[in-house]
Structure 1
Amino acid sequence: MLSYAGEAREDDLGRIEDIGAALVAAGVPIVEMAGLHERACRRLQEEGLLSGAPSSCVVTVLERASACLTQLMIAYSIADEKRIALLKREQRLNADHPRLESLGQVAGGICHEINNLLQPITGLAELIIEDEPAGSDASQNAELILECASRAASIVASILMTARRDLPKVAPVVFAPVVESAVTFLQAVLPPALVLELAVDCGMERVLCEPAELSQILLNLVRNAEHAIGGAGTVRIELSREDDRQDDGASRGFLRLAVRDNGTGMPPHLLSRAFHPFFTTKAPGTGSGLGLSVVMAIAESWGATAHIDSEPNRGTRVSLRLPILAAAEEPAAAKV
């Protein structure tokens, strides 16, 4: 597995990494690997492969065997650290699930009651605007009431999105054109001082999603980025393809949609709470703290995952990772 120069080739290292990951996945304890070197040497001796060989050749063989074992131990350790990190993350999510589910049920009931109260408020404000002269004090006050009611309804809708049970049906779509269309729409409704920069590095891959929800995701993320950069500047939206090697050797494709800014960023203690409902770094009265939790809820309903990378004063990147559909995974009626 090593070249004659005694250095591991890139493809050799890739195979060693695969073996290390496979040993971790199979639950082989690291103590069992400690004897691999001795067993390998014994096997060479039993097979007579070293009989009559010059001492320099024997030394070279032993050095290369030791180097392979060292690389394997490193690969095993890295794979095991990843496994432990994923296990801890899953445990944290499982611990939060009952609390968030109960919160969602309570919030859902409260939201329905608030919606019932907002309907007459909105209706009566609209009647006042129709009846009173434009520009009058009564008309201006009614417009303010209507604007506040509209904002309250938007917050309620976000809470229901987080707590909902009846999810819109997702369908296989070619993702890149849907992203381009959503970004075009957003740029038209955003302030001129905020520029969206779109970079697409993928083909016509299909994923499960709901286009209207994609617009909602991007709007939430872009609004957060707008706040982080002070309302003016460039927000970069990236769509790219990634291919992961699976345990069975097969390759699985994903599309990563990322929204990136160079704003204030977040320290680790805030970053760990970013997806929690009602958590916000904005000033009181300027944010509901529901944007990222809505993004997470929608992503999970698509079978996707959401992730945040952020550092203070170096910006933030929020990304969604969506599995690319193979032909066999798509419903026959959805194929075009």
Structure 2
Amino acid sequence: MPLSDRPADSAAAASSRSPAALPLLLAALVFLASLIVTWVVANKVERSAENELEASFNYRARDLTASVVRRMAVYEQVLQGTRGFLRGSVDISQGDFADYYALLRLNQSFPGIQALGIAAIVPPAQLGAHVSAMRAAGFAGYEVKPPGPRAFYTSITHIQPFGGSNLRAFGYDMFSEPVRRSAMEAARDTGNAVATGRVTLVQEGTRSAQPGFLVYVPVYRKGLPRVTVEERRAAIVGWVYAPFRMNNLMRGVGGEHATDLDVEIYDGHELAEDALLFRSPGARAPGSRAMFTHTDVIDTAGRTWTLSIRSSKQLEATLDKRPSLAIAATGIGLGLLLSLVVWLLASERRRALQLAGDMTLELRESRDRIDAERQRIRLILQNAYDAFLAIGPDGRVTDWNAQAAKLFGWSEEEALGREAVELFTAPEWRERWRGHFAAFTSRGECALLAGPSEIALADRHGRTLPVEIAVTALPSNGGYGAVAFVRDIRPRKAQEERERQRQQRLVEARTALERSQKLEAVGKLTGGVAHDFNNILHIISANVQLMMRNEESSRKRLLNIMDAVERGKKLTAQLLAFARRQPLHPSVVNPAQLIDRMDSLLHRAAGDAIEIRFELPATPWNTLVDPNQLENVLLNLVINARDAMNNQGHITIAIENVTIAPDSELGETGVKPNDYVKIAVTDTGSGMPPEVMERAFEPFFTTKPEGKGTGLGLSMAHGFVKQSGGHIRLASRPDEGTTVSIYLPRAQQETPDPLYIPTPH
């Protein structure tokens, strides 16, 4: 036998001696591995679908909570408006109250309000006279319920709509029931709207009674002081109130996705059955498990509600498991196919060797193609117009083209393998850059990934280079690396500076012209508004005088008066809409940097005779706010402080990082617990008495002489802060100065937006 045949014979002999079960074992192992991979992929896809569904649930739950808060705020405004209509007296005719109720159209606009009523205080000595007067007014069966002697009586003397189940409440003494009495006393002593705990309304019948609650707003006698609790107790004459049925109140709150959520509302913090106010129709039984849950605590008219929200069966049924099933089926099929291939390869060694050779050849050709492509890309990058560099997860340079060497002054041999921050950042910036890059390496998140950004780097000699940089993240096993194209924008910056100077000269010329035009326009607007209101007042005055002379035409004159009043309301509504319709452009702002940028502007506004002091923390939190509107608010506050000090004293602007807890003083007044940036402006001026503080945020209210102020400064600041999700507080005493504190929510982004970061020098 030739020698050349011996290796083949030896291989055949070795193959014949191999165990027959080995191909099947290999195929089984491959199939098992494919099943494991299939399970991992299918499980990941199913988990991703669950996460998307959970995000949708959380959004709808938060939106439902916000809808409940908004709806209760609207109801509170209705009661406040009714108190204003009464003008300090509960002695109003039933007809006038019915007309007012019809004008509100509560049944169409405010679902959930069972009625609108007035509870009057009846002194025990006048109880008999009160009942006689009501019966004489046409209510023959009227009586104060429940009967019996008491030290203090109240009675529902007005209720609309006056009919149906509301007649059960007519004459009812709500002060005789402990839960209602507690809320009425709290409203009386605080002057605010106060809600009761869970009650059964008097209007409810014996069957299918719904849980309910009532909201009270106190009515004080006109002209009496009510600064202290004792004064408010002395001035109280009754309450405006509204009863609510929870099922009716919650109808329609969830919108078209209401069936996706199982909602339970409890009175207080405890999720107890006796505190349950509302449960969604068809909701799961208490204690049953849901896929997603969400709990919120809200404040409604001084009362704490706990919202327990769970995903409904209908929402959970929308979870699409078809992709994971398809992946499982595909994986099993591919596993079987791969197992068959392995079995065939293991069974036919010659075929396997030939296949291995073909694969080796293909891999070699593929490697050659990759090397050629790599060389082509290298030539392109080396001759690119922009500097190109690549950084590995360890922060060291892996690629550096000729333009990068020209821009930064480091040759390719010097740059490769060195730490990137040493090559293009100044020494004083390097620690900050290392921190940013460490965070990017672990999470792959960076503000520069959003698109081309303008930043400042440094060359080999420490000179600052303004550049435009485009960064792309490169994930790898060791974390995230990055590639970047860097363009030198010094020529463009020089051109922009020349253009800016030219535009500045044009702006200065336009500003002088616009200033005079704005003054003229403001004068015309003020004159026009005053003229319109003057005409309205003339109409009202003339009609009243004619009514006094000729009583037969009273109805016609009253209609004319109402027409004039409606015109005045429309004009006022237009002015208020104009004042509140301000578009905001929020961005992440560092308040200390913003105030530092305003330093010269604030000193010019305060004047040379007034000192401005700053109390700024070392690391203030960032906040998401419109920087231009915040500058306007700070400027207005400094101007107000200057006017209150008569050009003598000092103004202090302080920034503080504040965390408001639920049990803190501010948390108990309705400020939502959160992290806030507090900006306080304090002056040493004349201060404000309590009656002025109560109206300080009202539009057009001012204590300045005529022509010295519009009365819009604090009202505009109030609207801006509320629109930005924050809060504003006023503290002042006569002759002790005033402090205006602004609380803006903390932004989670650690660094401000690039537009507001000063370029290092």
Q: CA deviation at 1:252?
A: 3.4
Provide the residue aligned with 2:592 in structure 1. Answer: 176
Provide the residue aligned with 1:296 in structure 2. Answer: 718
- Alpha carbons 2:590, 2:752 under 8 Å: kept: no
d(CA) in 2 for partners of 1:276 and 1:294? 9
- Alpha carbons 1:161, 1:297 under 8 Å: kept: no
Q: Which has the higher helix share?
A: 1
**AA partner of residue 269 (structure 2):** A
d(CA) in 2 for partners of 1:196 and 1:162? 33
Secondary structure at 2:676 match in 1: strand
Match of 1:311 among 708, 719, 733: 733
**1:233-272 to 2 correspondence within 5 Å?**
233-246=649-662, 252-272=674-694
Q: 1:228 and 2:644 equivalent?
A: yes
Q: CA deviation at 1:179?
A: 2.1
Q: TM-score, normalised by structure 1?
A: 0.51
d(CA) in 2 for partners of 1:335 and 1:264? 36
- Alpha carbons 1:195, 1:233 under 8 Å: kept: yes
Q: CA deviation at 1:164?
A: 3.5
d(CA) in 1 for partners of 2:590 and 2:636? 22
Deviations 1:75-96 (A, max 9, x none): xxxxxxxx79x739xxxxxxxx
- Alpha carbons 2:682, 2:737 under 8 Å: kept: yes
Q: TM-score, normalised by structure 2?
A: 0.24
Provide the residue aligned with 2:746 in structure 1. Answer: 324
**1:47-66 to 2 correspondence within 5 Å?**
none
Provide the residue aligned with 2:520 in structure 1. Answer: 149
d(CA) in 2 for partners of 1:178 and 1:333? 13
Match of 1:26 among 265, 269, 275: 269
d(CA) in 1 for partners of 2:618 and 2:753? 24
Match of 2:581 among 165, 168, 175: 165
d(CA) in 2 for partners of 1:181 and 1:332? 15
Deviations 1:311-333 (A, max 9, x none): 111110001001112249x9999
Q: CA deviation at 1:258?
A: 0.7
Provide the residue aligned with 1:87 in structure 2. Answer: 302
Provide the residue aligned with 1:197 in structure 2. Answer: 613
**CA distance 1:162–1:147, shift in 2 (3 Å):** closer
Provide the residue aligned with 1:274 in structure 2. Answer: 696
Deviations 1:184-205 (A, max 9, x none): 3221454211221111125142
Gapped regions of structure 2 (runs ≥ 5): 1-265, 276-298, 304-509, 528-574, 664-672
d(CA) in 1 for partners of 2:650 and 2:614? 10
Q: CA deviation at 1:233?
A: 2.3
d(CA) in 2 for partners of 1:303 and 1:185? 26
Provide the residue aligned with 1:103 in structure 2. Answer: none
d(CA) in 2 for partners of 1:181 and 1:146? 29
- Alpha carbons 2:676, 2:744 under 8 Å: kept: yes
- Alpha carbons 2:661, 2:674 under 8 Å: kept: yes
Secondary structure at 1:284 match in 2: coil
d(CA) in 1 for partners of 2:526 and 2:267? 45
**CA distance 1:291–1:27, shift in 2 (3 Å):** farther
d(CA) in 2 for partners of 1:294 and 1:147? 19
Q: CA deviation at 1:295?
A: 0.8
**CA distance 1:152–1:238, shift in 2 (3 Å):** farther
Aligned residues: 204
Secondary structure at 1:201 match in 2: coil
Q: CA deviation at 1:151?
A: 6.2
**AA partner of residue 692 (structure 2):** L
- Alpha carbons 1:162, 1:294 under 8 Å: kept: no
Q: CA deviation at 1:245?
A: 3.0
**CA distance 1:154–1:311, shift in 2 (3 Å):** farther
d(CA) in 1 for partners of 2:733 and 2:745? 27
**1:125-136 to 2 correspondence within 5 Å?**
none
Report which structure shows greater RCO (CA 8 Å, sep ≥6).
1
Deviations 1:40-73 (A, max 9, x none): xxxxxxxxxxxxxxxxxxxxxxxxxxxxxxxxxx
Deviates more, 1:304-313 or 1:146-155: 146-155
